């Protein structure tokens, strides 16, 4: 069934979109990530203009993370105070990100920036996660090894300290704000929620306990992607609500299926699988940058458009 998308101005198969939403939903339900890093390249692939793909993907992530955060709120695994601090950084970052996005769009380099961001961040996060989960697997076979104690480093020497009761932390607000800004910029440029960066940053940089990390990350992602959606809608008119609805129907159903699959697997196995997938997407994007493209020319909208 073909559906004409009013903003993207292309006609696409509705079942392909539902299927893509479902597939990415299953993966995000299994691994607890938004799935934007998979969905945006897939949207490019089926011919959605990059600007529309990035803006619409932000809108879809609002839906999936809202659905997720409700579950976490019931379990009281959301650090609202930490979420708000991250959010302040995130909103600043999102505003900066949209400005950078529009500037690069006028230069014709948006495509490159988005791809480079993907390759760098997916590569780094994927390899770190892969190594970490391999070690975890080895440790689980050899229970004699004791876990390391948390170190008191530079982060604890910074001013403006604040108590985060749910996370059990007493740290400066500067690191969370900076993490928020970085994630906000990436959310606007890459059309992702930034969960795959935020989650490791909260665990390894801020030292938050893993059980509150996912909920808090989802909480802040709702607002950052919501804000990004509004900014893209009002400055670029590139949010396609028909596309978003098709994606989120598939995504929401897929996420629930994924949660059930995920519950039956070991945490280390899940992390290794996710790392492998992240590295696979990264490798594909890196190859595209390195191999000579079949068509050297591309067409963009003119200034007077």
Partner 1 sequence: MIRYIALFLLLWPVLASAQNEEIVADLSQRRVSITTNFTGSEILIFGAVKRSTAIVASDPLDVIITVAGPDESFVVRKMDRIAGIWVNAAQQEIDSAPSFYSVMSTAPLEDILSDTEDLRYRISKERVIRAVDGGAGAAAPEFTEALIRIRESEDIYQLNEGEVSFFDGTLFRAQVALPANLTEGDYETTIYLVRNKSVVARHKTTIAVSKVGLERFLYNLAHNQPLIYGIMSLFIAIAAGWLASAAFRLLRN
263 contacts partner 1 (rule: CB under 8 A): no
Pick from 92, 155, 203, 249 the residue near partner 1 by CB under 8 A: 249
How many residues are present in the chain? 305
255 contacts partner 1 (rule: CB under 8 A): yes
154 contacts partner 1 (rule: CB under 8 A): no
Nearer to partner 1, 17 or 177 (CB): 17
Among the residue ranges 4-12, 30-38, 142-150, 164-172, the one whose residues contact partner 1 (CB under 8 A): 4-12
276 contacts partner 1 (rule: CB under 8 A): no
Binding-site size for partner 1 (CB under 8 A) equals 58
Whether 58 and 184 have beta carbons less than 8 Å apart is answered as no
Look up residue 95 and give its two tokens.
């505003």
For residue 83, CA distances in Å to 64, 65, 182, 222, 290 come to: 17, 14, 15, 11, 39
Look up residue 127 and give its two tokens.
């390899």
Nearest approach in angstroms of CB 272 to partner 1 is 27
Nearer to partner 1, 65 or 220 (CB): 65
Pick from 38, 63, 82, 202 the residue near partner 1 by CB under 8 A: 63
At residue 211, the 3 state secondary structure works out as helix
Whether 60 and 246 have beta carbons less than 8 Å apart is answered as no
Nearer to partner 1, 129 or 255 (CB): 255
Residues 7-36 that bind partner 1 (CB under 8 A): 7, 9-11
Cβ within 8 Å of residue 75, ≥6 positions away: 215
Look up residue 266 and give its two tokens.
């070991």
Whether 222 and 64 have beta carbons less than 8 Å apart is answered as no
Look up residue 252 and give its two tokens.
């929401």
294 contacts partner 1 (rule: CB under 8 A): no
Q: Where are the strands (E) in 78-236, listed by range?
A: 161-164, 169-172
Nearest approach in angstroms of CB 198 to partner 1 is 18
Question: Interface with partner 1 by CB under 8 A: which residues?
Answer: 1-4, 6-7, 9-11, 59-60, 62-68, 70-71, 108-109, 111-112, 226, 229-230, 232-234, 237, 239, 241-242, 244-245, 248-249, 252-253, 255-256, 289-293, 295-305
């Amino acid at each position: 069934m073909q559906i004409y998308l009013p903003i993207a101005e292309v006609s696409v198969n509705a079942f392909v979109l539902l299927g893509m939403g479902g597939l990415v939903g299953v993966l995000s339900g299994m691994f607890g990530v938004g799935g934007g890093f998979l969905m945006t390249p897939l949207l490019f692939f089926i011919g959605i203009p990059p600007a529309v793909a990035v803006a619409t993907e932000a809108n879809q992530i609002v839906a999936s993370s809202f659905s997720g955060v409700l579950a976490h709120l019931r379990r009281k695994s959301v650090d609202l105070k930490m979420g708000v601090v991250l959010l302040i950084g995130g909103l600043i970052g999102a505003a900066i990100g949209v400005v950078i996005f529009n500037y690069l769009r006028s230069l014709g380099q948006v495509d490159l920036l988005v791809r480079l961001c993907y390759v760098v961040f997916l590569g780094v996060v994927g390899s770190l996660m892969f190594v970490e989960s391999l070690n975890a697997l080895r440790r689980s076979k050899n229970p004699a090894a004791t876990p390391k104690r948390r170190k008191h480093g530079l982060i604890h020497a910074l001013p403006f300290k604040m108590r985060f009761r749910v996370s059990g932390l007493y740290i400066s607000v500067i690191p969370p704000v900076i993490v928020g800004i970085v994630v906000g910029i990436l959310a606007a440029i890459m059309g992702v929620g930034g969960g795959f960066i935020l989650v490791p940053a909260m665990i390894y940089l801020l030292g938050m306990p893993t059980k509150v990390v996912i909920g808090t990350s989802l909480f802040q992602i709702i607002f950052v992607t919501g804000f990004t959606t509004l900014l893209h809608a009002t400055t670029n008119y590139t949010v396609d609500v028909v596309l978003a609805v098709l994606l989120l129907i598939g995504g929401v159903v897929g996420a629930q299926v994924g949660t059930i699959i995920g519950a039956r697997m070991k945490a280390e196995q899940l992390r290794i699988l996710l790392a492998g997938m992240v590295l696979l997407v990264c490798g594909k994007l890196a190859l595209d940058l390195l191999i000579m493209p079949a068509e050297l020319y591309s067409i963009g909208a003119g200034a007077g458009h």
